[in-house]
Structure 1
């Protein structure tokens, strides 16, 4: 089964609050016949659109092929959090690669955050960008780790935009009985993810990028040039960028063995009006310390946007709202009477080490995926890094690509049942508070 078509109506955005709250772009044509390009980008999410925009600005002829609509995948469905650094924290990276490479990766992560903010400003993208992401702990040990991490970033990286939260300060910010403290990163931010993706698409089109929607690539012929085939056409290109994340499927088996698609779910409540103070007293986003992370924020029309729960098969659950109500009820038991207006799922890509997988899979074929829930900044930056690598400036791409990314045990054949077993164990630990 192809994940591109397992849960969604072909060529249509999911019934999310994001799709309901921002005007969509007029549909782009589907590819018909043969076209040539300097670079063909597969996938019109943050990665692909960023790569295309930067390449077009550098004078390259760029074609983007998207199976559905621009921003259709995780880029248009996620929690909208623009986090600092990488998905793996700096202490983990120091253990993984050493102090000097960890510092380089921190700097790249901060470059990613700055890039998103600069693109939004440069192209006047109206996506409700706001500062502030809090990390909360559900146990005293979690809180102690978060406070230690804030001190580590200050002492070793000079990062001074984090405020530590005691239990009282955390409760004053977010009146959840589940949280015992945490930290607030005012250098991080949150935004409307689909509006941001559509803004990138507008900017890419204005820069001269040719975008084709409803043009699913089913075959890639490596070569110089490479050829990409859809049902009704083909592109012949000097370079190829694969920007498909969890939807890559069989186009690049060596990448698919290392990037696992999983499903995550979000709900939007009815507008809360004066009850917003029962969720947050400041307009920041929150992510907690559970292994299966809960994340939430208030929308600009005063809804609670709450993400929680995961699944590892092809199909979304039939009642997404009930799946998300369970963790939402733990975090906000006082909102059990609140109506849910929207519920949707999305597919993202994770790796074994939760670090993105950037790879050169052919002399003229680059791939980036596996953002593991940290994609708003990292995916946008990965697109820029791949664009620079095509032009010949490879330092940033090579730094990211140097991180070892092991294949899941059994590759594509066994990764799903093994991951379900592992995730079930960690979810049980969350429920037991271990």
Structure 2
């Protein structure tokens, strides 16, 4: 049986790694960042480049949680259609947020190029319509994108043309985004760490923050040390509630599971996904998959409504893969792993501040790109330009009812209903 936490393809293929030492002293900083995933690392790079004194605390090792385990899909925008975003926040704010979110892709590419991060970067993402009604919605979304961004940023794919991008049956068309793509998330996280340290950030791994005391300065304590800082930035996604209960109630942790096949022959791999794009679909409980640099199919899918992982992740996910790719029945599963992603009620990231505590979480599956954007906006804010950060605070959010004990059953009911609607 595979270890649901540690038997990931990413850990096996990212190369040797030596974590930084834990914090064992009482130190000071301008900004203390809690969390060594994409959000915290991007913030550390940007803030250090802005000549702020930066300390980053990571409870485990860099990329330990969702940032080192996710599907690696670079999906431009939000997990909400631009049309619906504008209905939610109004035309002016909605357009600004949409353009800002779309800029995240270029920001990530700029980071990769500037810092020489080798992370198996590939271009293209296709989102498939699981229902005919979904395709009609995608048609409207492409027309909306053409109006806001110009033609070609999103390409409508007719049902008869899907096989030019991916060879699967049962879908009703889709949207292809050339500026989407995929990468090796753990390699990207480690590359951001190197960039942050080169810019002057101090990074401590194995240094879980256990308490935060606010005041004129913020005191963050770990088991063996402390940081006194002008501001603290909570970049710990599903663990935000452990340090800030009020902020934490706006997200729900959801477990995702991924399998990786053995390496496939080049011709066999390209027959599955001729475009080598990242692929996702419009189901609420979605399937998403892509090819790795060594031609493995990385596939995520399936429904699981309890926090306990399945005893055999490979056996749990593989049937969903074979439903789309029955020709892989003979392909061995080499890796299977899981991780938690934070979602919000409206599937938009929850970003804001309370005094000198700042936070960002709940990317709802869109975190590979948006996290780098948020890290750079934090640096802008701390240097006195709050305009872009303020836009995110204009997004209305509702918390999940109750604390941890009630949030999970509430979410389970919602997921069961949505899964039923997928089938209908």
Q: Give the TM-score category using the shorter length.
A: over 0.9
Q: Quick one: which of 340, 347, 354 aligns to 1:354?
A: 347
* Mapped partners of 1:269, 1:349: distance in 2: 26
**Post-superposition CA distance 1:73-93 (Å, at most 9, x none):** 111111111112222110110
Residue matched to 1:215? 207
Q: Quick one: which of 225, 232, 235 aligns to 2:217?
A: 225
With normalisation by structure 2, the TM-score equals 0.96
| 2:125/2:278 contact within 8 Å kept | yes
**Post-superposition CA distance 1:357-377 (Å, at most 9, x none):** 00102x211000000000011
- The answer to whether 1:422 aligns with 2:414 is yes
* Mapped partners of 1:306, 1:23: distance in 2: 22
* Mapped partners of 1:376, 1:225: distance in 2: 31
Give the number of equivalent residue pairs: 421
What stretches of structure 1 move > 3 A for 4+ residues in a row?
A: 310-314
- The answer to whether 1:371 aligns with 2:371 is no
- The answer to whether 1:117 aligns with 2:109 is yes
Select between 282-291 and 172-181 the one with higher mean Cα deviation: 172-181
Q: Quick one: which of 8, 32, 50 aligns to 2:24?
A: 32
Residues 6-405 of structure 1 mapped to structure 2, 5 A cutoff: 8=5, 14-273=6-265, 274-361=267-354, 363-405=355-397
| 2:305/2:415 contact within 8 Å kept | no
* Mapped partners of 1:311, 1:254: distance in 2: 27
| 1:265/1:310 contact within 8 Å kept | no
**Post-superposition CA distance 1:379-419 (Å, at most 9, x none):** 11111112221222111111011101111122433111010
Select between 254-263 and 368-377 the one with higher mean Cα deviation: 254-263
- Post-superposition shift, 1:24? 4.1
**Post-superposition CA distance 1:212-256 (Å, at most 9, x none):** 001111111111211111111111111111100012232000111
| 1:7/1:315 contact within 8 Å kept | no
* Mapped partners of 2:385, 2:297: distance in 1: 42
* Mapped partners of 1:241, 1:310: distance in 2: 33
Q: Unpaired runs of 5+ in structure 1?
A: 1-5, 9-13
* Mapped partners of 2:54, 2:16: distance in 1: 22
* RMSD, aligned CA: 1.6
Q: Unpaired runs of 5+ in structure 2?
A: none
- Post-superposition shift, 1:157? 3.5
**Post-superposition CA distance 1:34-60 (Å, at most 9, x none):** 111111100011111111111111111
* Mapped partners of 1:314, 1:163: distance in 2: 37
